[in-house]
Amino acid sequence: METIKLTTKGQKVTEDVIVQRILELKEKRKAIILAHNYQIPIIQDIADFVGDSLGLSQKASSTDAKIIVFCGVHFMAETASILCPDKKVLIPDMNAGCSLASTINVEQLREWKRKHPNAVVVSYINTTADVKAESDYCCTSSNAVKVINSIPEDKEILFVPDMFLGAYVATKTNRKIHLWPGECHVHAGIRPDDIVSVLEKYEDTEFLIHPECGCVTSCMYYLAEKDLPEDRAHILSTEGMIRRAKSSNLRKFIVATEIGILHRLKKENPDKEFYPLKPDAICQYMKMINLEKLLYSLENLVYEVKVPEPLASRARLPIERMLQIV
């Protein structure tokens, strides 16, 4: 049975009608729809490009489209605005925030920098534009190790804001890094016990683990102790998970991240099986975007995310440094 939806004009129509209208308007407006891997399935299916934070930034900076509709969270739309100052960047719901980005503000970062005047600041892409503007480098989960390795070894590093990703990167690079005590409420909820409880049960299964997870430090310990077999446990960004699932010879995967990623994993690997480690790992911010809001956004060219100058130019530097490294 077809789902009946309410359009922005109050009419009852089927989902197909809304999809058709979105596609027509996208064409008319010369817009591109970018969606993060955690978006709801129908938004991923209608998007021109679906990817992780790095892929989305790269796509935003290379597109010819005049309008970017960002189906993701606010800091992602801000990043697109910073990279493409001449384009109109829209987000279908302004309330789509990020609990991790909210764990540090610019005053807190300035204060921390004052205590470490010679330190290099590396900020995860999940930060606001003004935090980026106070940073030397940006990174995403797929390039954080490379970014840290590009910094001279004698430099003191402040890493903001995700402590789990920061601890993972510190171990991988063997660097002493000061960590801001921030976390994403969705990933922090994926605890070591969640991994331990499934470890022994599934022998022919691969584990795909996001480095923002609360279990990541323990997973690295289990890997070092060989309690978690190296060939069956991989710590990856969301796009890294997509690539790994495709190339692996195994057929079953347990996925430790926000469950929106399962849609693409299943769609692109119909002969393989994917199970969430934690079925309630759901980011309510990512799920704020839906078809009706996307249609409204394209109809009314709202809600614009525009990072003003000179802030945009200052925030662009650490992002561009990152894009040159990867």
Binding mask 117-146 for ligand SF4 (x = CB under 6 A): ---------x--------------------
- Binding partner at 238 among ligand SF4, ligand 13P, none, C-beta below 5 to 8 Å by kind: ligand 13P
Helix (H), strand (E) at residue 196? helix 192-199
The yes or no reply on residue 184 touching ligand SF4 (CB under 6 A) is yes
Task: Please pick, from the candidates 228, 286, 298, 307, the single residue that binds ligand SF4 as defined by CB under 6 A.
Answer: 286
Q: Tokens 């489209």 sit at which residue?
A: 65
Q: Tokens 């789990």 sit at which residue?
A: 164
User: Minimal distance in Å, beta carbon 323 to ligand SF4?
Assistant: 20
* Per-residue CA distances from 251 to 29, 123, 159, 256, 274 (Å): 42, 36, 36, 16, 8
- Residue 232 DSSP class: G
- Binding partner at 237 among ligand 13P, ligand SF4, none, C-beta below 5 to 8 Å by kind: ligand 13P
- Binding partner at 140 among ligand SF4, ligand 13P, none, C-beta below 5 to 8 Å by kind: ligand 13P
The yes or no reply on residue 259 touching ligand SF4 (CB under 6 A) is no
Round to whole Å and give the CA distance between 286 and 40: 8
Binding mask 99-128 for ligand 13P (x = CB under 6 A): ---------------------------x--
Structural tokens at position 229: 């077999």
Residue environment code for 100-128, b if the CB has 16+ CB neighbours within 10 A, otherwise e? bbebbebeebeebeeeeeebbbbbbbbbb
The yes or no reply on residue 79 touching ligand 13P (CB under 6 A) is no
Round to whole Å and give the CA distance between 181 and 162: 7
Task: Please pick, from the candidates 18, 34, 35, 37, the single residue that binds ligand 13P as defined by CB under 6 A.
Answer: 37
Per CB under 6 A, which of residues 125..184 are in contact with ligand 13P? 126, 140-141, 184
Helix (H), strand (E) at residue 217? helix 216-224
